[in-house]
Chains A and B, each alone.
Chain A
Amino acid sequence: MIENLVRYFFIITFLCLLLFDALIILAARRAAVQTGIPITFSGKLLIVLSLVFLLVGIIFSLH
């Protein structure tokens, strides 16, 4: 019972973080289009790293 609760807690938390990350990506794309300034390499790297960590976390939580 407790194990399932903890697992669901992690899944929901990772999903919420994934949603927030998606909002950040959309806002960054909008800013890049509006200003004409492309996203910096370090910004892209951080976005990719955060997505990777979140997806791995969700996959591990599901199993």
Chain B
Amino acid sequence: MRLCYYGCEMPLQRKSLKEFSIIRCAEGENILCVQRRHPITFITSLSLQIVAAFFVLLSVTYILQFISPYPILIGYFNFLVISTLLITETFTLLSWYYEFYVITNKQLVHRYSFRIFGTYTESVYGEKMHIQEIERRSSNLIYDFLKIQDIYVYFHKLERENPFTFKTPSDAQVVDDLLQDLIVQSQTSRRDLDKYD
């Protein structure tokens, strides 16, 4: 059923991120979870940009009043600062909006679709690597208070030296639970294979 709103049709239910074709799945592969980074990460960077632009605007306006004989120069500088601020905010928003962490039953994927040059994807195939440890850490006190955590997935050193990092996902608990389930599943399937051997 579709709702009519100002002459435009809108779908009754919003699609979840899992329903979009963010990655291509192989046969037998199911997407279990798709998350973005927590919104607070881009809200804080937007706020810092606004504060910095405001500070630059005020200081340039104050200094140019005494130095420049042309008052219109202040207007040009303000225009320039506001334009730069809008562009950096657009870049920050879209970078956050199109960065995804995807967990399937076979792999972990970090996909960064919004890039000026190329698409960045980091994939770890769970069937070929053995998860050693999952660590959850908050990078500061405020994130700790808000329960915003980074998740580090460690593998055997010989397979992968650096951990696969979920940087401030929107729900760290869900990611952790899914990873634990994947570990149990892979251990069960390995035991079954050993039995047949």
Which residues of A approach B to under 8 Å, CB–CB?
A: 3, 6, 10, 13-14, 17, 20-21, 23-24, 27-28, 30-31, 34-37, 39-40, 42-43, 46-47, 49-50, 53-54, 56-57, 60-61
Contacts and interface: CB of A to CB of B under 8 A. Distances in A.
Contacts of B56: none
A4 to B, nearest CB: 13
Q: Which 5 A-B pairs have the closest CB atoms?
A: A50-B86, A31-B113, A46-B90, A31-B98, A31-B114
Nearest to B73: A6
Contact of B114 (A13, A28, A49, A54): A28
A53 B83 contact: yes
B83 A50 contact: yes
Q: Is the interface of B mostly helix, strand, loop or mixed?
A: helix
Interface residues of B, number: 27
A50 to B, nearest CB: 4
Interface of B: 17, 20-22, 70, 73, 76, 79-80, 82-84, 86-87, 89-91, 93-94, 97-98, 100, 113-116, 119
A56 B83 CA distance: 10
A37 to B, nearest CB: 5
B104 to A, nearest CB: 16
Nearest to B68: A6
Given A46-B93, A57-B83, 15 more contacts: A6-B73, A13-B80, A23-B116, A24-B90, A27-B116, A28-B114, A35-B21, A37-B20, A37-B22, A40-B93, A43-B90, A46-B89, A50-B87, A50-B90, A61-B76
A37 B76 contact: no
Contact of A24 (B22, B82, B87, B97): B87
Contacts of B83: 14, 17, 50, 53-54, 57
Contacts of A37: 17, 20, 22, 97-98
A40 to B, nearest CB: 6
A39 B20 contact: no
Given A23-B116, A46-B86, A53-B82, A35 B20 contact: yes
A58 to B, nearest CB: 10
A28 B80 CA distance: 23
7 contacts: A24-B87, A27-B115, A31-B114, A35-B20, A43-B90, A57-B76, A61-B76
